[in-house]
């Protein structure tokens, strides 16, 4: 299978083929996702919560994102790898934003970056695109804005807020974004945005009409259980399975069942 490119994203939208995307933060999980044939891996700043055990994504640093993106790109043969720009890595100035975005491609081997926002970051999207850094915008619920948004709430519920989100999506597209991620908005609003944009939309908690879907891997596999958002479907329960396996190992060591002759040298 050839390496997935941003042109494949656009082709899939034109052909009406859904784009598949999951997060990953390390070599083994990235390898599994890639071998399963998923189109795209996002090295999300969600790693702050699902890997680092933080309350939210705000403390995650550029250096941590570069480290995890390297682990992922080392494993991936086909999927498009996108690095997620952490809080304050693209807010303080355009030059700073472009330099940080460039690190994902130059130092970590990613093929694109994602940043949160639409209209307010249009200048950053334009400057990055000019520097040949493909950008995915992220509108709707933006976890880096939880303090302003007052928590993890569904966005675009009023007529005015919905109109604003449609405008944001157009501004991001006009600034050069190759795709727009839409998080936690009513499904009819995501459908309207998807129909109006020439570039693909990727939904998370945005219903079935987006051009593609993304979820956090640790939610999909049942590893992260601090809270399970309504839009998550758990396809496995690896935390419970891992605890069972570790308990069994403990019991067998304590009772002398492990190691047996089979696991010993003669
Ligand atoms: O950081 C992340 O994993 C994300 C997803 C929730 C889309 O931005």
User: Which residue out of 14, 183, 196, 263 is catalytically annotated?
Assistant: 183
Domain ranges of the chain: 6-235, 238-266
Query: For a pocket test of ligand 1, which of 204, 227, 229 has the largest count of ligand atoms closer than 8 A to its C-beta?
Result: 204
Long-range contacts of 245-254, Cβ-Cβ distance < 8 Å, separation of 24 or more:
none
Structure confidence at residue 260 (pLDDT): 98
Angle, helix 94-106 to helix 122-130, in steps of 10 degrees: 50
Vertex 144, ends 194 and 173: CA angle to 5°? 30
Count of C-beta atoms within a 10 Å radius of residue 250: 11
238-246: list long-range contacts, CB under 8 Å, 24+ apart: none
Of 234, 168, 182, 233, the closest CA to residue 211 belongs to 182
Query: What is the 8-class DSSP label of residue 26?
Result: S
Q: 179-183 and 135-140 as β-strands: parallel, antiparallel, unpaired?
A: parallel
Provide DSSP, 163-211.
HHHHHHHHHHHHHT-SEEEEES--HHHHHHHHHH-SS-EEEESS-TTSS
Count CB atoms within 10 A of the CB of residue 62. 18
Residues 6+ apart with CB under 8 A from 171: 118, 119, 122
Q: pLDDT tens digit string along 71-129?
A: 999 999 999 999 999 999 999 999 999 999 999 999 999 999 999 999 999 999 999 99
CA of 262 relative to ligand 1 center, distance in Å = 44
Q: What is the pLDDT of residue 1?
A: 77
Q: Is 183 annotated in the active site?
A: yes
Q: Which ranges of the chain have pLDDT less than 50?
A: none
pTM > 0.85: yes or no? yes
Calpha distance 68→46 (Å, rounded)? 12
What is the end-to-end Cα distance of the chain in Å, rounded? 45
Position 2 scores a pLDDT of 84
Q: In this structure, how many other beta carbons lie within 10 angstroms of the beta carbon of residue 33?
A: 24
Give CA–CA dist 246/15, Å, rounded. Answer: 46
CA–CA separation, 91 vs 52, rounded Å?
Answer: 23
Distance of alpha carbon 163 from alpha carbon 36, whole angstroms:
38
Measured between alpha carbons, how far is 21 from 87 in angstroms, rounded to an integer?
22
The Cα–Cα gap between 37 and 48 comes to: 26
Q: Name the residue of 58, 214, 217 whose CB sits within 8 Å of the most ligand 1 atoms, as the mutation to test its pocket.
A: 214
Does residue 204 have its Cβ closer than 6 Å to ligand 1? yes
Cis peptide leading into residue 259 (ω within 30°): yes
Superfamily (CATH H level) for 6-235? Phosphoenolpyruvate-binding domains (3.20.20.60)
């Amino acid at each position: 299978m050839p390496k997935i490119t941003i042109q494949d994203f656009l082709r899939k939208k034109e052909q009406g083929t859904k784009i598949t995307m999951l997060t990953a933060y390390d070599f083994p999980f990235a390898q599994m996702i890639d071998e399963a044939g998923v189109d795209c891996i996002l090295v999300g700043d969600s790693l702050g919560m699902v890997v680092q055990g933080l309350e939210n994504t705000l403390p995650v640093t550029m250096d941590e994102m570069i480290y995890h993106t390297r682990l992922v790109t080392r494993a991936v043969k086909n999927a498009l790898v996108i690095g997620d720009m952490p809080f304050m890595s693209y807010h303080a100035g355009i030059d700073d934003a472009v330099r940080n975005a460039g690190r994902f491609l130059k130092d970590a081997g990613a093929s694109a970056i994602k940043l949160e926002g639409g209209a307010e970051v249009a200048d950053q999207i334009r400057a990055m695109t000019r520097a040949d850094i493909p950008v995915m915008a992220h509108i709707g619920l933006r976890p880096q804005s939880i303090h302003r948004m007052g928590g993890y709430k569904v966005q675009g519920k009023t007529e005015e807020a919905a109109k604003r989100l449609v405008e944001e999506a157009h501004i991001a597209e006009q600034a050069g974004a190759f795709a727009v991620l839409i998080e936690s908005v009513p499904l009819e609003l995501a459908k309207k945005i998807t129909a109006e944009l020439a570039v693909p939309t990727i939904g998370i908690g945005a219903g079935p009409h987006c051009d593609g879907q993304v979820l956090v891997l640790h939610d999909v596999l049942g590893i992260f259980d601090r809270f399970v958002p309504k839009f998550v479907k758990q396809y496995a329960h690896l935390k419970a399975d891992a605890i069972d396996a570790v308990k069994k190992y403990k019991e067998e060591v304590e009772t002398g069942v492990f190691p047996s002759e089979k696991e010993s040298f003669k």
